[in-house]
Amino acid sequence: MMRVLFVCLGNICRSPTAEGVLRHQLREAGLAGRVEVASAGTGDWHVGRPPDARTLKAAARRGYDFSAQRAQQVSAADFTAHDLILAMDLNNLRDLKRLQPATGRAELDLFLRRYQADKDEVPDPYYEGEQGFEHVLDLIEAACAGLVREIKGRL
Ligand code: 4NP
């Protein structure tokens, strides 16, 4: 079993989208039972809440349903509970490096850069309009395809 954790700031826009999209792509690839997928935020403001209404709306337009997901805050223990922790932006990556214990086994990386050499951050859509949420979905769907290829190679 491989365990993947996506991390953003609030865990209501970008990382829950990545969690839901990866789950969907793994189901389509017949790998749903082989990978555990989760998401968390570096901040705690939205803990316990479902994804942002705009995230759910943009997802629904593409046939996804992320409404059962609930926000949680990332902790040092996540570095032992997961194999791969993927940050949505450079601030998230910096905050995660501060939290990373010396003994944690999880590999930490910047999500987009790992799968697309010319990209780095998934931009925060929180203060954007609908277009921002569409863009987040485009970036995440493309990068998740790379992640599924990596997972196939690792299992
Ligand atoms: P996320 O977006 O990190 O993609 O979930 C945000 C959600 C909430 C806030 C900022 C970004 N906030 O400031 O509450």
Ligand 1 atom closest to residue 71's alpha carbon, by position in its atom list: 5
Kindly tell me if the per-residue pLDDT of 143 is higher than 90.
yes
The parent domain of residue 82 ranges over: 2-154
Q: Which residues of 82-95 are buried (b: 16+ CB within 10 A; e: fewer)?
A: bebbbbbbeebbeb
Q: Write the pLDDT tens digit of every residue in 97-131.
A: 999 999 989 999 999 999 999 999 999 999 999 99
**Would you state the pLDDT for residue 77?**
97
Q: Do 6 and 18 contact (CB within 8 A), yes or no?
A: yes
Which CATH number covers residue 84? 3.40.50.2300
Q: Write the pLDDT tens digit of every residue in 28-67.
A: 999 999 999 999 999 999 999 999 999 999 999 999 999 9
Q: Do 48 and 16 contact (CB within 8 A), yes or no?
A: no
Beta bridge partner(s), residue 35: 2
CA 30 / ligand 1 centre spacing (Å)? 32
**Ligand 1, from 7, 12, 91, 93: best to mutate by most atoms within 8 Å of Cβ?**
12
Around ligand 1, the residues with Cβ closer than 6 Å are 8-14, 41, 45, 124, 126
Q: Residue 112: CB partners within 8 Å, gap ≥ 6? A: 119, 120, 121, 122, 139, 143
pTM: predicted TM-score of the whole model, two decimal places: 0.98
Number of compact structural domains in the chain: 1
- Catalytic site includes residue 14: yes
CB neighbours of residue 64 within 10 Å: 18
